Each structure stands twice: as C-alpha cells, then as structure tokens.
Amino acid sequence: MSLHKVLCIVGPTASGKSALAVELARTFDGEIVSADSRQVYRGLDIGSGKITKQEMCGIPHHLLDVASPTRTFTAHDFAKKARVAIADIEARHKLPIVVGGTGFYIDALVGRIPLSNVPINTKLRAQLEKIPTEKLLARLRKINPARADTIEPHNKRRIIRALEIAHTPHAAAPSAPPPYEILWLGIAPPFTTLEEKITARLYSRIRVGMIAEARRLRADGLSFRRMESLGLEYRSLARLLQEKISREEFETELVRAIRRFAKRQITYWRRNTSIHWFDPSVPSTIIDTVATWLLVDNKPT
C-alpha cells in the first residue's frame, strides 16, 4: 500500500509561500493546510498576514481561524486537527498541501519531532515567571537548542511552555509517524530581496488597517498581556497602543523583529536535508518537480 502523498511548502515569512501553494493547488487539484501559529486565531488577520479570500482563488484553506485568540493553541492541537484535515482532503482524492513558516507545527504534524501533551505545571510556571525572559531562553538553549531556535526571544509564554515540557520526565515519548510520503519544497529568495519584501509587506499591512485591527481585538476583550504573548506584530502593536513606543519606534522595531524572525526560520529549516530549495521567481521548475514526484508510486519501507 502506497504512503499518502503530502506536499510541504516551507520557508521564511514574506517569501511567497502562500501564493505558490495556491498556484500548485490549482495545478494539481489540491487543498491547503495552513501551518502558522498566529493565523490559527480568529481576528488576527492583517497583523498575521493571513491570506484573503480573493488571494485564495477559490482553493479551500484549512486550519485558519480555528481558535480564539484568548486561548492557547499548541503544536499538539495543530497536529491533531491538521491530520484530520489531511485525511479529509485525501478522502476526496485531492492533494494535501501543508504551507507555513511555523516549523515546530509542521515537524510535529509529520512526526519529525515527538508530540507532547504535558499538562500545565502551575508551580513550575510560577517559578519561571519570576525569571527574566532572556535567562529563560538561555536555559532552554542549554536543554533543547533546536527548540530555542524556533521561539521568538521575547515570547516568554512559549519559552516557559517549552521549559515545562523539557522538565517533565518522559514527556515526549515518540508516537508512530503519520503514513505520509512527503515532498519538501523550500522557498528562499535572496535575503536582500526578502528584506525588501518584508518591509513592503509590513507597510502595506499598516496602510490597510493593522493598527485598527489591534484596537478591535482589544475592544473585544484581548488583554495587552495576551496580545504581547502572541509575538511579532502583536507584541509591537500592544506596546504601541499602550503608548510605550511611538509610531516611528513601532515601525522600526517591527521591521527589525520580522527580519530576525525570518533568519531564525531559515536557520531552522536548513537543518532538514530533505528540503528541495527553490527561488520562487522560477515557478516552472517547482511545478516540474511536483509533477515528477506525483508520478512515482512510493511504497513504505
């Protein structure tokens, strides 16, 4: 029996993954499973760079808007829901296309890292909350450097959760890997080009209402503390709305933060030697690679 084919498109933010995924879905009769740790939340649209209905071009997208931003959505939650979505897509004889920049989510989904459903340790969390974020990150880097590389350095909530898992004996007992035969596509434009795209994309999102979106989230009951814990754009938006930084400081800090985030994403994915890397400016090469892969009937070993 052949393994179920799943196409995974990875790479840094603003690299063109979403547009490529839509093009490939249209070409190969696929549906898309989004793997983005902010786009799973309802209402986090402009700030997270969530694909619009128009940009979807009629292609079904799964795992968008599946959680309240007031509640934590874990990699375990993502893997569980994404596997259900993939099974549903396959049952309709479509090609599942997983696309996103949250490496920890995708690796958890496909079995490259063991899943952990460790319960909350209130006592440990209370102890860790008293420690500065940079010291917590340094501690995590000693215990699990690969996980530390995937976490935004200011996201104290996620760092504490990672330490909570790391401190739980036998927390990450590996489960059987999903029955997927994966083609990994990595999208990586030259970094100078990526920096330009990051800047242009950010200012475009600001123009179409990113700050107003944050005000709506706040009015709907999202606390500033929770907004900051969501990281990147929402961390800076929370600081701006609280008048901790000026509009100019907001824009400057966010451009720098997103560029650093993109570098961490690239570093993370470069560890996966199964990824075939492409410049998105040459889509015909990518299409040929996918077409060839789909013609091969791979058997489990």
What is the structure's pLDDT at 130? 87
Burial letters 251-264, b for 16+ CB under 10 A, else e: beebbebbbebbeb
**pTM here?**
0.85
Q: Measured between alpha carbons, how far is 290 from 89 in angstroms, rounded to an integer?
A: 18
What is the structure's pLDDT at 301? 44
User: With the C-alpha atoms ordered 267, 147, 227, 160, is the resulting torsion angle positive or negative?
Assistant: negative
Q: pLDDT per position in the chain (301 positions), as tens?
A: 468 999 999 999 999 999 999 999 999 999 999 999 999 999 999 999 999 999 999 999 999 999 999 998 988 899 999 999 999 999 999 999 999 989 989 999 998 887 666 777 888 888 888 898 889 989 988 888 877 877 778 778 778 888 888 877 654 444 566 789 999 999 989 999 999 999 999 999 999 999 999 999 999 999 999 999 999 999 999 999 999 999 999 999 999 999 999 999 999 999 999 999 998 888 899 999 999 999 987 654 4
Structure tokens at 199: 């800047």
Instruction: Please give the helix or strand (H or E) that residue 105 lies within, else none.
Output: helix 103-110
C-alpha closest to that of 69 among 214, 253, 265: 214
Q: Measured between alpha carbons, how far is 70 from 77 in angstroms, rounded to an integer?
A: 15
Structure tokens at 2: 């052949």
The CATH number assigned to the domain with range 4-113+181-295 reads 3.40.50.300
Bridge partners for 277 per DSSP: 186
C-alpha closest to that of 151 among 105, 119, 100: 105
Q: Residue 118, Cβ neighbours under 10 Å: how many?
A: 16
What is the structure's pLDDT at 159? 87
